[in-house]
């Protein structure tokens, strides 16, 4: 068996004072927090596409920049098999319990769908085989129905019914292999499900077709007995000007309009939330309070750039607030933290793949520690419940209980006069959050 990351051995936890860049400073997998180990809380996953398919390409350098030990393998299937080995070696060296893939990441497309599916079967067998002597599992599978030219106008929202059918066939197979590999979720990211101009678009038909497609997926999941979660990953734009699954709020409304809300949850990606003009925490919380937070694509954008830069998450402020949402939902069940993140074009060495994941894992580990202290102390919860306490008694309770209407509220106001309002204390709370971040 070949070794693809020869210069790196198993990454160990060495604590915050370590000078070793190939060690965890904050992620201590076996450390217990509130009765669960860090590893169980965080459920990290490596993204196959960025880690094993990413070339460091950009529109000004399509050939990419990265140097990998599998670069010299010429045959497409030999390369795909090598990447299976590289994936397990990488996850095992990092101690990451999961990975995620698109169908086309693990096996290259052939001339026909039949041939492509055969290739998938070969690679799925190789993955299954490798899983027998590994603890590494599949967090989720998905379909790449956006790179091939046939999906230029979209997949389930294409203007062409044959393309809709092709995408359905692809999802069917991808769901089957996800199930076969014990995947715990199946993700839909809308790729090109959106539009460039309404001058050539029947938006109503496209949205209705998207709902039809998702309903077919729900039906097929039931038919084959796949017990993983179905998740949709909202994104407002890129590659299309307007993506139909814009953000959590849009997707929740779309689900409710089409009776899908009981069947599909969200996979929230940090950089997608910020592209939609929200904070990461906003979309996480909106999903959580609607019982729709399934999993997370962990990354971060750049504050100065308006696109999906998919950087490794290093902002402890954001990872803390994100983990607070995960704690509040009672932890992940089937979901986890998938690093949908790529090293920068200039970070082209294999070691950079380790540094990127270590940076992200440490940032989320520390976020978990801080969030758990915040949650235990309950100071923000207390402030919020006191801020709304008026809704627990008197006229506030009558409003909540649906006992009063405009007439009663007018009478109340005429009798009680000007309301007394109190400070929101934002700055005091922000300073308190900093105290937690810096070591309270």
> From the centroid of its chain, how far is CA 6?
30
Question: 352, 278, 277: which is closest to 312 by C-alpha?
Answer: 352
Query: Residue 238 and residue 217: Cα distance in Å, rounded?
Result: 24
Distances (CA, A) of 284 to 203, 290, 364, 396: 27, 10, 15, 28
Q: Does 105 bind Co ion (CB under 5 A)?
A: no
Inter-residue contact 202 to 231 (CB < 8 Å): no
Closest CB 237 distance from ligand XUL, rounded Å: 10
Q: Does 235 bind ligand XUL (CB under 6 A)?
A: yes
The position carrying tokens 């909202």 is 234
Catalytic-residue membership of 302: no
Instruction: Show the tokens assigned to 132.
Output: 């027998």
Q: Does 340 bind ligand XUL (CB under 6 A)?
A: yes
Question: 341, 352, 328, 351: which is closest to 44 by C-alpha?
Answer: 341
Q: Does 193 bind ligand XUL (CB under 6 A)?
A: no
Q: Does 340 bind Co ion (CB under 5 A)?
A: yes
Among 245, 247, 269, 318, binds Co ion (CB under 5 A): 269
Choice among 102, 278, 282, 357 that is catalytic: 102
Contact track, ligand XUL, 172-191, x by CB under 6 A: ---------------x-x--
Closest CB 47 distance from Co ion, rounded Å: 8
Distances (CA, A) of 190 to 57, 120, 194, 423: 22, 22, 8, 42
Contact track, ligand XUL, 287-306, x by CB under 6 A: ----------x---------
C-alpha Rg value of the chain to the nearest Å: 24
Decide which of Co ion, ligand XUL, none touches 308; Cβ closer than 5 to 8 Å per partner kind: ligand XUL
Restricting to residues 252-281, which ones interact with ligand XUL according to CB under 6 A?
269
Inter-residue contact 128 to 168 (CB < 8 Å): no
Q: Does 248 bind ligand XUL (CB under 6 A)?
A: no
Q: Does 87 bind ligand XUL (CB under 6 A)?
A: no
Closest CB 389 distance from ligand XUL, rounded Å: 41
* Nearest to Co ion of 103, 297 (CB atom): 297
Provide the b/e sequence for 265-304 (b: ≥16 CB within 10 Å).
bbbbbbbbbbbbebebbbbbbbbbebebbbbbbbbbbeee
* Nearest to ligand XUL of 27, 146 (CB atom): 146
Q: Does 318 bind ligand XUL (CB under 6 A)?
A: no
Choice among 103, 105, 245, 283 that is catalytic: 105
Catalytic-residue membership of 121: no
Which residue has its beta carbon closest to ligand XUL?
A: 189
The helix (run of H) or strand (run of E) holding residue 285 is helix 280-289
Query: Residue 78 and residue 319: Cα distance in Å, rounded?
Result: 38
Decide which of ligand XUL, Co ion, none touches 339; Cβ closer than 5 to 8 Å per partner kind: none
Residues that bind ligand XUL (CB under 6 A): 102, 142, 187, 189, 233, 235, 269, 297, 308, 340
Residues that bind Co ion (CB under 5 A): 269, 297, 340
Residues with active-site annotation: 102, 105
């Amino acid at each position: 068996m070949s070794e693809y990351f020869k210069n790196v051995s198993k990454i160990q936890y060495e604590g915050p004072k370590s000078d070793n860049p190939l060690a965890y400073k904050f992620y201590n997998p076996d450390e217990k927090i509130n009765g669960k180990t860090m590893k169980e809380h965080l459920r990290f996953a490596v993204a196959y596409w960025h880690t094993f398919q990413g070339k460091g390409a950009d529109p000004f350098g399509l050939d990419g920049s990265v140097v990998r030990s599998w670069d010299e393998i010429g045959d497409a299937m030999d390369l795909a098999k090598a990447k299976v080995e590289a994936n397990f070696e990488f996850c095992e060296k990092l101690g990451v319990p999961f990975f995620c893939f698109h169908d086309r990441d693990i096996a290259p497309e052939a001339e026909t769908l039949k041939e492509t599916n055969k290739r998938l079967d070969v690679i799925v067998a190789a993955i299954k085989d490798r899983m027998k002597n590994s603890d590494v599992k599949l967090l989720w599978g998905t379909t790449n129905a956006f790179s091939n030219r046939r999906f230029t106008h979209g997949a389930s929202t294409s203007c062409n019914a044959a393309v809709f059918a092709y995408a359905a066939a692809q999802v069917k197979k991808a769901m089957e292999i996800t199930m076969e590999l014990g995947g715990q979720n199946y993700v839909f990211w809308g790729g090109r499900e959106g539009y460039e101009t309404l001058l050539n678009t029947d938006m109503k038909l496209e949205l209705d077709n998207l709902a039809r497609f998702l309903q077919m997926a729900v039906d097929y999941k039931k038919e084959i007995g796949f017990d993983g979660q179905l998740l949709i990953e909202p994104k407002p734009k890129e590659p299309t000007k307007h993506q139909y699954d814009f953000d959590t709020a849009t997707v929740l409304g779309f689900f409710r309009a089409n009776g899908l809300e009981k069947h599909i949850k969200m996979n929230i990606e940090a950089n997608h939330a910020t592209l939609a003009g929200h904070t990461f925490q906003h979309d996480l919380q909106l999903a959580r309070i609607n019982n729709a937070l399934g999993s997370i694509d962990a990354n971060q954008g750049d504050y100065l750039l308006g696109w999906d830069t998919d950087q490794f998450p290093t902002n402890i402020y954001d990872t803390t607030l994100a983990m607070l949402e995960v704690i509040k939902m009672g932890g992940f069940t089937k979901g986890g933290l998938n690093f949908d993140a790529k090293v920068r074009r200039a970070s082209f060495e294999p070691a950079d793949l380790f540094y990127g994941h270590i940076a992200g894992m440490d940032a989320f580990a520390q976020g978990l520690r801080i969030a758990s202290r915040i949650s235990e102390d309950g100071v923000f919860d207390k402030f919020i419940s006191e801020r709304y306490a008026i809704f627990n008694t008197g006229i506030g309770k009558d409003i909540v209980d649906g006992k009063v209407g405009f007439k009663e509220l007018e009478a109340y106001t005429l009798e009680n006069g000007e309301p007394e309002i109190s400070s929101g204390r934002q700055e005091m709370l922000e300073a308190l959050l900093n105290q937690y971040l810096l070591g309270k």
